[in-house]
Structure 1
Amino acid sequence: MRVGLHALGIGYGARPEVIRAVATAAETHGFARLWCGEHVVLVDTPASRYPYSADGRIAVPADADWLDPLLALSFAAAATRRIELATGVLLLPEHNPVVVAKQAATLDVLSAGRFSLGVGTGWSAEEFAALGVPFAGRGRRTEEYLAAMRTLWTEDPASFAGEFTRFDAIRVNPKPLRGGRLPVVVGGNSATALRRAVALADGWYGFNVPVAEIPAHIAVLADECARHGRTLDELTIAVAPGDGSPDHLREFATAGVTELVVVGAPPPTPDGAATWVAELARTWIRLAG
Structure 2
Amino acid sequence: MSTSKNIAFTQADKHILFDLIKKYKHVVENKKTDSVSNNDKKATWKVIALEFNARNVTTKRDDGQLKRCWEKTKTTARKHRQTERLHAMATGGGKAFVSPPQMEEISTVVSSIQPYFDFEVVSEWDSNAIHLLDARADSSAAAVSAEVAELDEVADAPDSPSPIHGATMPASSQNLNNTDGIFPAKLPVSKKGSFSVKSTQMVEAEVKKRIEQIDEEIRMLRESHAAKLKQNAELHAAVMRQNAEIHAVKLAREQFLLRQLQTHECKNTENDL
TM over 0.5: no
Superposition TM-score, scaled by structure 1 size? 0.18
More helix by share: 2
More strand by share: 1
